[in-house]
Structure 1
Amino acid sequence: MKHEKLCVGPVAGVDEAGRGPLAGPVVAAAVILPSKGVPRGIDDSKKLSASERERLCARLKGCAIVGIGIVEPDEIDTLNIYWATMKAMTLAVDALATELGHAPGHVLVDGNRLPRWTYPATPLVGGDAKSLSIAAASIVAKHTRDLIMIAAADVHPEYNWHSNKGYGCAHHMKALRDHGPTPIHRRSFAPVAAAYRTREGLFAKETTS
């Protein structure tokens, strides 16, 4: 926890999940780790299996202070994905501050940009590999978003979100062409916008024929 020790505590790590998918929300998490009893195995969420993330997320929620921020697809389309991500991070730290009872002493944020907030903060490129707090936040954000997409897959099974979590893999792209977008698709993303135009064109032909 080298980076955490350089800051005035308590120090929160912040990371997000879901900037790139065509469907579903962007989720951010903020985590303050305990001074003792940090769960073993915390790492960049992308290096962990789903079962490892699930186990660690449960452990973190039991021993750490955690805040989560979620921005839904319609707001992503309104703000754009960059500002939606910044908002999700802000919501996560706000939630953490509420749980903590006051603002964190410092916030370490994965990436090279900071939200427009008043919290003292440092951006850290590749932070999920450099900061244990950011790595913990990446696990919570990723697992939280995965659960949201698995629940959405039960409603829209044809898109295989159980597996692809909303990313634009071949199966998802084919389902988008065959079935059209759902309410949780991001209309501002080019493949989804193209699918909307195609469906609208087909509907127009049907109504004029």
Structure 2
Amino acid sequence: MTTQIIAGIDEAGRGPLAGPVVAAAVILPDGHKIQELDDSKKLTAKKRAMLETEILEKTIYNIALCDQSEIDSINILQATMTAMTRAAEGLSQEPDHILVDGNRLPQWSFQAQAVIGGDAIHPCISAASILAKEYRDRMMIAAAEKYPEYGWERNKGYGTAEHMAALRKYGPTPLHRKSFAPVAQFSLL
């Protein structure tokens, strides 16, 4: 009997005011031996970076996103589901089953299960959580070089006091989610 191929999916970036929502899908091979996989939010930045390297070397994975214009067009929930679908569909090996962190599943043809808190329970979801967060964080750090006023290298696009003060002073950038209320109040739509 063959082993079922299980993929884990998680996202990063639903709550920020700027940048994309990023989803990762990961298939852990049998006997992968990647230690200390956990919810990315529970890990230090150094530990996440170390685990990311190991995950990229030892797994089948795909990372996908929906940018801020798509988020503004279809809303953050639908953008999250779209990014998850893209991540799953882009895997080089089709999974038999997918475990998705959260309480909702995208409308897709995959056999899947939503698992609340799954990033702390299932190693494949933990691995996806780490990849999505690290990828998105790097994108926001790079964007901070172009838009240094917003402090994205520190806040990753979340609505911190620093970020809100910059929005008030400079207005939104092309990377801001103009459909989000804190940004919309400063937008000239």
Aligned mates of 2:16, 2:119 — CA distance in 1: 20
1:53 is displaced (CA, Å) by 1.1
Which among 27, 31, 37 is matched to residue 32 of structure 1? Answer: 27
Which amino acid counterpart does residue 55 of structure 1 have in structure 2? M
Letter in 1 for 2:55: L
Partner of 1:4: none
Structure with greater Cα Rg: 1
Deviation at 1:69, TM superposition (A): 1.1
- Name the CA distance, whole Å, in 2 between partners of 1:104 and 1:68: 15
Partner of 2:176: 185
Residue 50 (structure 1) shift: 1.4
Equivalent-residue separation in structure 2 for 1:28 and 1:133 (angstroms): 13
The 2-side partners of 1:34 and 1:61 are apart by 12
- After TM superposition, which residue ranges in structure 1, 4 or more long, deviate above 4 angstroms? none
Offset from partner CA, 1:97-155 (integer Å, 9 cap, x none): xx22xx20100001111000000001111111111111110000000000000000010
Q: In structure 1, the residue corresponding to 2:159 is in which secondary structure?
A: coil
Match of 1:131 in 2: 122
How do residues 1-209 of structure 1 correspond to structure 2 at under 5 angstroms?
9-96=4-91, 99-100=92-93, 103-197=94-188
Question: CA–CA distance in 2 between the matches of 1:183 and 1:37?
Answer: 41
Instruction: Provide the C-alpha distance between the structure 1 equivalents of 2:186 and 2:33, rounded to a whole number of angstroms.
Output: 46
Structure with a larger share of its residues in helix: 1
Unaligned runs of 5+ in 2: none
Per the TM alignment, residue 37 of structure 1 is displaced from its structure 2 partner at its CA by: 2.8
Tell me by how many angstroms 1:38 deviates: 2.7
SS of alignment partner, residue 26 of structure 2: strand
Opposite residue 121 of structure 1, the aligned amino acid is: A
User: TM-score normalised to the size of structure 2?
Assistant: 0.96
Q: Deviations for 1:5-43, whole angstroms, at most 9, x for unmatched residues?
A: xxx610000000000000000000000112113311211
- Hey, what's the Cα distance between the residues in 1 that align with 2:73 and 2:138? 24
Q: 3-state DSSP class of the match of 2:185?
A: helix
Q: Which residue of 2 aligns with 1:5?
A: none
